[in-house]
Structure 1
């Protein structure tokens, strides 16, 4: 199996197809950002308006479907105008929300999260319940072994040790994963995932959505580059409860405070995500060094958080 990558000819065909479907004529385009597995462009149209064109390959090809489903549940998301999948590549046109009025705040995050997590689990999304969380360290070890059989991630003894340390305690620490709030989670719930504009706040970038503990979403808000700060997450959890979340959100899980539990498990989830998608060859060898550094950081944090009482 070869590494999944987007190609310019496929992307160009998708763009033209979607423009034709919406009866639009493009006069110019500008690249907003390009990643290994996706990209975003602003399309300027002949009528003076603009739209956003986003394209992505596996594992991000269900984003249009997710956005449309969330909109059907009353979640304020960026509106999808048209979408299609061709040659394992998603292309979608969405409304152009323009420049945000301001950066999203913790109160914005709490309000958006309450609405999102109230949606019952969606059948086509991965589910991270107690059993699934328990399996993540072992699944991470299996993915690492598969990568090493291909000559990748060879300098990863510390990653292996961290996963081996987490595996025996995973079942105990996963207890309580299905306590409320449990529902649809964003997966990359950062300040840039909320667009605050003149028409209100919209949710963006839902390609990593899953069913699971809402606390894992809240744990992503502050990022993972710096050491975890449980006190910051605790503040957000209480703001979340204040605007309507289930009061159990602040309850202990797995023998740990809710904030510490969520920060630890989110780091394991993120490390597993990178290992699993590298093993599935969605990420190529050229990203291994950068991803190995991310995985190491995530698992070091997880060990600290989940082995402390």
Structure 2
């Protein structure tokens, strides 16, 4: 992100916070977002986050989540530029320990049970079934511009998934359906010394199938693990999640349905990054490898 834009938004967001920051610690930075811990002259700290589209409504999502009773950091101030959000939020401090599967399951139950505000984008059955076609259109754009020339196999797999999508998407609106965090990993939870568990990173939150969150928990850096996913779904139900979580949908067991659609969702998002949001041809090899691997997993899990 542009350092001058970050500095300008930081200045605007911290006006009225007791003076300019005395210290700035960069916590995270990539092409679409930048996160800092700010220390003010009085010793108080806050987290400052800047984000480019499509992440420019996280302040609204966090505010709505807090109003709904979720354990999320307070938004202290926010400013919106032409295409960039600057947001000052409560500093939750350093974690007391790593979150466990029990923490994740309990937080997911809480997340999926609170009221959903109108501001969250909808993700219903039709939306889910549209993902492979949307991914194909984006892949076509990349190839029309001379990028991803060796991606014919990806296109073939996406075409097969697209043909099966209407049947496989059935059950998308079965419980749990509501808030979807979209980045629901152990790194998006923080356990404080008093035992309270918070979540954050709601920049891509939407209203949709909660199972996408549940299978996000195991991440994507290793191959999909249906047995591990099933164990987490069962833990979620034990923590108070709806029993319908474990029901078959789209002709598949819950864990394969969820993992398969999660991979399709990731593929569509990665292609959008490559073509629009980041649009850096030098990153094409890495994106193509990831998209190919996840598309292959999706085809296998969805049995197409």
TM-score surpassing 0.5? yes
Other structure's SS at 2:204 match: coil
1:233 pairs with 2:232: no
RMSD of aligned residue pairs (Cα, Å): 1.5
Tell me the alpha carbon deviations over residues 75-112 of structure 1, each in whole angstroms, 9 at most, x when there is no partner. Answer: 00022111111131111111222221111111111111
1:152 pairs with 2:147: yes
1:293 pairs with 2:286: no
1:17 pairs with 2:25: no
**1:256 match:** 252
Unmatched 5+ stretches in structure 2:
none
Q: State the distance in 1 between where 2:113 and 2:71 align.
A: 14
Tell me the alpha carbon deviations over residues 121-151 of structure 1, each in whole angstroms, 9 at most, x when there is no partner. Answer: 4333332221111111111111111122222
1:49 pairs with 2:44: yes
1:203 pairs with 2:199: yes
Say which is worse superposed, 281-290 or 221-230, in terms of deviation.
281-290
Are the counterparts in 2 of residues 10 and 87 from structure 1 also a CA contact under 8 Å?
no
1:26 pairs with 2:18: no
Give the TM-score of the pair, scaled to structure 2.
Answer: 0.95
Other structure's SS at 2:37 match: strand
Q: State the distance in 2 between where 1:288 and 1:127 align.
A: 30
1:216 pairs with 2:212: yes
Give the TM-score of the pair, scaled to structure 1.
Answer: 0.94
> Runs in 1 of length 4+ with deviation above 6 angstroms?
none
In structure 2, which of residues 143, 160, 163 is the aligned counterpart of residue 165 of structure 1? 160
Are the counterparts in 1 of residues 18 and 42 from structure 2 also a CA contact under 8 Å?
no
Other structure's SS at 2:99 match: coil
In structure 2, which of residues 87, 97, 101 is the aligned counterpart of residue 102 of structure 1? 97
Other structure's SS at 1:280 match: helix
Tell me the alpha carbon deviations over residues 222-257 of structure 1, each in whole angstroms, 9 at most, x when there is no partner. Answer: 011211111111111111111211110010011111
Seen in structure 2, the aligned counterparts of structure 1 residues 281 and 138 have a Cα distance that, compared at 3 Å, is same
**1:136 match:** 131
1:89 pairs with 2:84: yes
**1:127 match:** 122
Tell me the alpha carbon deviations over residues 8-38 of structure 1, each in whole angstroms, 9 at most, x when there is no partner. Answer: 1111011011111323331121211210111
**2:261 match:** 265
Are the counterparts in 2 of residues 100 and 195 from structure 1 also a CA contact under 8 Å?
yes
**1:246 match:** 242
Say which is worse superposed, 252-261 or 14-23, in terms of deviation.
14-23
1:302 pairs with 2:298: yes
Say which is worse superposed, 238-247 or 120-129, in terms of deviation.
120-129
Are the counterparts in 2 of residues 83 and 93 from structure 1 also a CA contact under 8 Å?
yes
Task: Report the CA distance between 1:285 and its aligned residue.
Answer: 2.1
**1:3 match:** none
Tell me the alpha carbon deviations over residues 242-283 of structure 1, each in whole angstroms, 9 at most, x when there is no partner. Answer: 121111001001111101110000000010111123333443
1:177 pairs with 2:172: yes
Task: Report the CA distance between 1:120 and its aligned residue.
Answer: 4.2
- Provide the aligned length of Structure 1 versus Structure 2: 303
Q: State the distance in 2 between where 1:122 and 1:142 align.
A: 30
Q: State the distance in 2 between where 1:109 and 1:166 align.
A: 30
Q: State the distance in 1 between where 2:279 and 2:90 align.
A: 29
In structure 1, which of residues 276, 280, 284 is the aligned counterpart of residue 280 of structure 2? 284
Q: State the distance in 2 between where 1:281 and 1:95 align.
A: 28
Unmatched 5+ stretches in structure 1:
1-5
Q: State the distance in 2 between where 1:223 and 1:276 align.
A: 20
